[in-house]
Amino acid sequence: MLPVVTSLRSFGVEEELLLVAEDGSPFARAQAVLDNAEEADGPLENEFMEEQLETATPPTHSLTELADALRAGRRGAQDAAERQGARVAALATSPVEFTGTTVGKLRYLRAREQFGLTAREQLTSGCHVHVSVSDDAEGVEIIDRIGPWLAPLLAISVNSPFWQGQDTGYHSFRSQVWARWPTAGPTRAFRTPEAYHDAVKALVATGTILDENMVYFDARLSARYPTVEIRVADVCLDSSTAALLAALARGLVETVAREAAQGAPLPEVPPEILRTAHWRAGRSGLDGDLLDPRTGRPAGAHDVVGALVAYVREALVDAGDLDAVTELLGRLWSAGSGAARQRAWAADSGDLGAVALRAADAFLS
C-alpha cells in the first residue's frame, strides 16, 4: 500500500501557441521571436514548427497563482511576437490552410524525414498539465487509474474544429492528427515503475521513434520533472479554461492517488474503450454524448463533466479549488467551448482568417 500524501500537490501548465500574420494565416517567425525575446517575456521555447511558440508556468500550489501565471505567460508571448510583426492565438489547429515550416533543429529534421506527412502536418497545439508525484511508484499508480477520466478533460478543452481550411465536423481535430504518431494514446496498466520504464525502453528499441521524448502517452511520467504529465487537451482558447483544466487534472491525480493509497483495485477499462472515449470527446466535445467513465455507455456531456467534478470533489475542496472550478465551469458552459466559439465566428464572417484573428483578439481574455 502506498503512503497517503497529505500535502497539496504542485502543478503547472505548458501551452503550445500559434503565431499568425495580419491575415490570420500561420506565420513562421518563432526563431526570430526567440532570438529577440526579453527577460520580461518569460520562458518561451520552440515547438516542432516555426509557426509555434511554447510557454510554461512555474510550479505552484495555488490555482490563483497558476491562473495569474497563465495570463502572464500569454502576455509575454504576445509582447515578444508583436515586436516581430506576429500575433499569437491559442488555437489547437490553424483554421487557415497551411504548409508548416519545421524548426531547423537536427532532431526535428530527423523526425520530418522519418515520419513524412505526419511530421510535415504537425502544426497542432496542445495543453499539458504537470502534477507533482512523490516518486515513480506513485506516478505509475496514477497513470494506471486516471485513463477513464481523461476524455472528459479533452471535451472541456476542445478548440480545433478546422483543418486545412475546412470544417472537419470534429470539435478537436487536433486529437485526430495527434493520433497519427505511433506512441500516442491511452496505455495498458503498467502496475510497477519497472514495467513502465521497460515499456518505454522497448518502444525506443523498436527504432520507430527517435528517443524517449517521443513516447506520447496520454499520461506519462515526465522526463524532466517529478510529475505526471497529462497530455490529452487542446490548447484552450482562453486562459481561464486552461486554469479550469489544470484544477480538474490536479483533483483527478489527487483522487486516484488516494484510492491507490487505500488499496482500491485498478479500474479494468481496456485501451480500445479508452481510445473510443477519446474519439467521441474529440468528435462532439461539450455538445453531444461522451462515454460515461463509470459505465462505458453514452451520456450527455453535462452529465459526464458533472460526474468528473463529483468524483474529484473532495480533492477540490481540500485544495480550496471547488468554488473557482464551479465558477469557471459555469463560464465555460455559458460561453461555449473554443470549438463552438470558432464556428460561431466563422458563421459571422465567412472568413477563416478572421476566425484566427478573433482568437488572437481573445488571447488574453
In this prediction, residue 3 carries a pLDDT of: 39
How many domains does the structure of the chain reveal?
Answer: 1
In this prediction, residue 5 carries a pLDDT of: 43
Residue 1 lies in a domain: no
Q: What are the per-10-residue average pLDDT scores of the chain (365 residues)?
A: 62 98 97 95 94 98 98 97 98 96 94 96 97 98 98 98 98 98 97 98 97 97 96 98 98 98 94 97 97 96 98 98 98 98 97 98 93
DSSP-assigned letters across all residues of 259-310 = HHHTTPPPP---HHHHHHHHHHHHHHTTSSEEE-TTTSSEEEHHHHHHHHHH
How many whole angstroms separate alpha carbon 270 and alpha carbon 350? Answer: 42
CATH number, domain containing residue 189: 3.30.590.20
In this prediction, residue 34 carries a pLDDT of: 97
Q: Which domain holds residue 281?
A: 11-361
How many whole angstroms separate alpha carbon 109 and alpha carbon 210? Answer: 11
300 contacts 211 by C-beta, under 8 angstroms: no
Residue 2 lies in a domain: no
Q: Which residues of 136-151 are buried (b: 16+ CB within 10 A; e: fewer)?
A: bbbbbbbbbbbbbbbb
The whole-model pTM stands at 0.96
Residue 212 lies in a domain: yes
Residue 5 lies in a domain: no
